[in-house]
Structure 1
Amino acid sequence: MATVDRRSKAPTKTQQHKNQENRHQTVLLILCFKVFLGQPLCLIALMTVDILSIYDLYFYQVIYFYIKNI
């Protein structure tokens, strides 16, 4: 009988967790950079990122869109 390697079919939860964590770090870095450029609205967004759910991907897409349009 042939064995099936299940690991190659889909990313593991730990890999997805790492990807979301990396996205979180990136968003925080961009917001911090914009706060230091003197844009106070980003400070509010930065606090919101920490308060709300860290791994809500839709929320980060909204924040990313907001950052791009500043």
Structure 2
Amino acid sequence: MTRPIIVFDLDGTLIDTAPDLLDSLNHSLAASELAAVDEAGFKRFVGHGGRVMIERAHAAQQRSLESQEHD
């Protein structure tokens, strides 16, 4: 007999992770000596994963990341 599989999508469906993502992004920006973003500005960077979020936030402040800074 097979057992049922239950899959949860916790990213914004059951748990609001936006505040944690915003805090993480602002921590990354501070490490690069860039200005923090607010919740309204943050939403335009979300989508396609954390790496893209950080790249977009840096690009918005006319700063690009070197490949070694991503990891």
TM-score, normalised to structure 2, is: 0.41
RCO higher in 1 or 2 (8 Å CA, sep ≥ 6)?
Answer: 1
Tell me which structure has the larger Cα radius of gyration: 1
